[in-house]
Amino acid sequence: MMDIPAVELVLDAKAQLGEGALWSARARLLYWIDIDPGLVHLYDPATGKNRTLELGQPIGTIVPRAKGGAMVALRDGFASLDLESGKLTFLADPEKDLKGNRFNDGKCDPAGRFWAGTLGKVPGALYRMDRDLSVHRMFGDVKCSNGIAWSLDRKTMYYIDTPTGYVEAWDYDDATGAIAKRRVCIRIPKENGSPDGCTLDADGNLWVAHWGGSNVTCYDPRTGKALHQIRVPASLVTSVAFGGPDLDILYITTARVGLSDEELKKQPLAGGLFKCKPGVKGIPAPEFGG
């Protein structure tokens, strides 16, 4: 496994639970979030400015929408978001009767469907919102729904339920959104930390953020082998996204929630947004087609 040169600090944001990094090729902005305070951040690398929207409740993920604006999954379900005014329009809440649960990570599949999963006091689930805004419960018994990505040939879905300590692969039907044949494709060594958010590169390899591991590791999901590792000066590494005009910059979010004063002294940049150039490019993030 090859180490990649050190990361560079982009923003000393001191986010409580920085997450959900995603590059919008249309807007040329990095979308990222701070979960617990319900913040959406829009970072413009051309100007160095970071605009923030306050949504008023915990947010799990954000994705761009082809018709403009964005889609989000929050404590109270799926919603559209006007990125100028910050106005939310709620569309569906499949766990409205589970008051201790909220949505967490999610992304759009290559066909423009929005997938997001939940966590909370009772086991969560993974949901799929289709372009017609119908919502489908794909499977349950989820502890902490996290990273999700799709293979370059659109035949496999990769999925992370963090406490399991591994990455799953599912057969994926791009035409219908159906999934089948669940199996483990990557087993994460304990010394790497717990798998969190992930993203695919143009070679078909999976870059995984490791909560508690101070690193991002690149794996070949076809063999399960670790290929590269990036060290991060924060232990709670949460999400990754390729961005920039050439999709050759890897952005990395981190958190500081739950760290003691002593731990924060050792990692003063915890909660920051970082970047590096790992020597490979990403692929454009699909937009929601509804």
What positions carry a catalytic annotation? 196
CA 137 to chain centre: 19
Measured between alpha carbons, how far is residue 163 from residues 56, 142, 176 in Å? 28, 9, 29
Nearest to 246 by CA among 194, 191, 202: 202
Nearest to 267 by CA among 246, 236, 245: 236
Q: Are 92 and 78 in contact (CB under 8 A)?
A: yes
Tell me how far apart the alpha carbons of residues 45 and 47 are, in angstroms, rounded to a whole number: 5
Q: Which residues contact 84 (CB under 8 A, 6 or more apart)?
A: none
